[in-house]
Structures are given as C-alpha cells and as structure tokens.
Structure 1
Amino acid sequence: MFVKLGATLIDTDVVAREVVARGEPGLAVVSAEFGPGVLLPSGELNRPALRSLVFADDAKRRQLEAILHPLIRSRTRAKLAELEAPYALVAVPLLIETNFGELVDRILVVDCPEPLQLERLMRRDAIPKLEALAILRAQADRATRLKAAHDVIDNSGTTEATRRQVELTHRRYLDLAARRARQL
C-alpha cells in the first residue's frame, strides 16, 4: 500500500533471496555449512529443505542467521545509500532480534492478533501449523514488537481501514522527511 502511494520499499526477505541466489557467495557458504541437501539439482537453494532444517534446531537457525544477516545488512545499507526518495520503508521480519533497527529512524509495526498472524503465515507460505509456530517462536513476540514501535498499523480489520492508516502514516513520514531535509 505504501508503494502505491510512491514510497520506496526495501524488503529484506527479497534481499535475503538475492544474497543466496545461484552464483552468490552467500549460497556457497550456506551449502558448505548445511550440506548438499539444501540445494536443488539446479544448484539453487532448496528453501523448504533449509527452512525445515533450521526451524527444527535453534543452533542451526542461529548459524544460518550468523551467515546471512551480515550479508543482508550490507546489501540493505547499499540499497539505502542509492535512494533519492524522501523516505524508504525497510521491511525486516526480524528487526528487533537482529539489531537492524540501527538502519532506520523509526520502527513501524504492522500488527494483528497472534492467531490471525499464524493463520496468515500458514496460508502465505503453505506450511503446516507446527512449522509456522516454529517460525513465529523465532521472532520477537507481539508485546516486544509493539513496545519497540514508533508507529503501529493495525491490519486485523478491513483492507479499507488498513489503507486509511497507511495513507495517514505516509503523510506523516513525508512531513518528517521534509522537516529532516530542511535541517540538513
């Protein structure tokens, strides 16, 4: 919704896919650490296999994060440096847990009740409940995310209600960016 209003979005899930694309050094490190079972015959990352492996074992998940997070942070920082937009949104699923907050001025949490979050994750990724619960357990809980937030959008209601909140937040961010530009 922000992008439709002209905002720039850097999605770290997309960046994470980029850093482990075929031919990228990140893929070589991941396959060396976790074995050939995390690769498809094409040489691409077998995401479901890796996800099953790391969300079943906290040590392996932390090992993967130690490999990927510096690569993701570096590439995200480079993308931010290239921007000429008034502001950018950086979507970071593990913002609180990974200290990616250092890259941003404000933290916006898009919130919904945990049962709805679980349902949406299962539907979006077509994964079973236990796997979705493991993914959510690896993230900061709702109370922690809300405590860290400067701004919150409640997306548990209608699309129209969410759209109105996005429009208000977008205008606020444009105003904040304009004030910041005047200070420079």
Structure 2
Amino acid sequence: MKLIIGLTGGIGSGKSAASRWFENQGIVVVDADIVAREIVDIGQPALVEIAKTFGEDILLNDGALNRKALREIIFQSSDARQQLEAITHPAIRTSIIQQLNAAHSPYVILVSPLLFETNQHELTTRNLLIDASVELQIARATQRDGQNIEQIEKIIAAQMPREQKQQRADDIVLNDGQLAHLYASLRILHEKYLTLAQA
C-alpha cells in the first residue's frame, strides 16, 4: 500500500516551505489548493455546474470563473457556500485520488490547509502538522499577503483550532521561524517516512 502523508498547518505556518522541501527531495506533492483551482478551469464539469447553479454572472467574458463575484455570493449566504461545496468537494476529492494514485515516489505528500476540516485525512496514512504560534502566523501572513490583521484573524478563526490539529496529527513540527530548524526536523521525518514506505 502506498504511504501517503497529509501535510497541513494554518495560514502562515510554513506548509509551503515544508512542501517545497519535500519536493526538492524528489517526493511527489499533491496540493489540494492547486487541485481546487484546476477543477474550476474553463471546460471543467464543476465550472459548468457552478454557472448553472449561480448564473452566468459568475463567469468572466472569456468563460473563466469570476472568483470575486462568486466570493461575494458565498460570503453573504451559508446556503450558497454549501451549494458550492456540494459541487466542488467531490470533484476535488476525485482529482486528488487520481493524482495520488498516479504519483511515483517512495511516498506521496498531500498538502491541504483543510486536511481535517474536509475529511481529506481519510485519504492519508499519517498526518504531519506544521505548527506555529498564532502571533507568528499573523506576522508572517500579513507580511506575505499584504492583508490586514483583521482579515488574517478571520481566516485563522475559520480554520480548526491549533490544539485540535495537534491532537489529530501523527507528527508535529514546530516552525518557530528558522528555516534551518524546519529543514532539520523535516529531514528526520523524511528518513522515517522512507523507512515506513519500505515496510
């Protein structure tokens, strides 16, 4: 059976730095955020379904998804959010499974900010949490994304609390800001995962 490692962490925790490190070791990384964008590309069944459900106004002139228009609808109505998730979540899951099955490396990483929230952890063998204090998350995310603190705090509040993620993770790496420290911790886990993959 293929060893699949779920990689998660809150905004600004350092998941992207971690996933890039694993890629540099030759490990295939399937990124749920990228998959979520791919399934609403022009011509994809999920986009056709979204346009049917929410009207042609959520499409740009070239037929691509108008993310801003859709976001406004979703923010105003939890029913609309549920309708959207009913379309996108199954399509995302199917695509993730296909990519995980097609991956050829000693083990595979599934990166997902909402690994536990969307039950994507059901697809994984073990789960790795890249953890950071809320203060550090806010500091990093505001520097990187140019968003204000309130927006970042809202995103953090919408995600599963750190403590719950810590309880559900098999492996936890505290990313306290030093990349060398992060990489050293990941190297130890990489060796462990290689051994597990051969078991």
Give me the TM-score of the superposition, normalised by structure 2.
Answer: 0.80
More helix by share: 1
- Mapped to 2, the partners of 1:154 and 1:55 lie a distance apart of 32
* Distance of aligned partners of 1:173 and 1:150 in 2 relative to their CA distance in 1, 3 Å threshold: same
Query: Unaligned 5+ residue runs, structure 2?
Result: 1-20
Matches for 1:1-184 after TM superposition, within 5 Å: 1-179=21-199
- 1:51 is displaced (CA, Å) by 3.3
List alignment gaps of at least 5 residues for structure 1: 180-184
Residues in 1 aligned to 2:150 and 2:139: alpha-carbon distance in whole angstroms: 12
Distance 1:163 1:77, change over 3 A: same
In the TM superposition, what whole-angstrom CA distance separates every residue of 1:140-162 from its partner, at most 9, and x where no partner exists? 11111111100112223211111
Greater length-normalized contact order (CA 8 Å, ≥ 6 residues apart):
2
Q: 1:5 to 1:133 in 2, by over 3 A?
A: same
CA contact 1:52–1:131 (8 Å) conserved in 2? no
The residue that corresponds to 2:14 in the other structure is none
* SS of residue matched to 1:45: coil
Over the aligned positions, Cα root-mean-square deviation in angstroms equals 2.0
Quick one: distance in 2 between partners of 1:61 and 1:124? 27
Counterparts of 2:89 and 2:125 in 1: how far apart (Å)? 19
Superposition deviation, residue 169 in structure 1: 1.2
Alignment-mate amino acid for residue 72 of structure 1: I
- Runs of 4+ in structure 1 off by over 6 angstroms are none
Structure 1 pair 34–127 and aligned structure 2 pair: CA distance change class (3 A)? farther
CA distance in 2, matches of 1:121, 1:36: 33
Q: TM-score, normalised by structure 1?
A: 0.86
Q: Cα offset for 1:121?
A: 3.7
Q: Matched residue pairs, number? A: 179
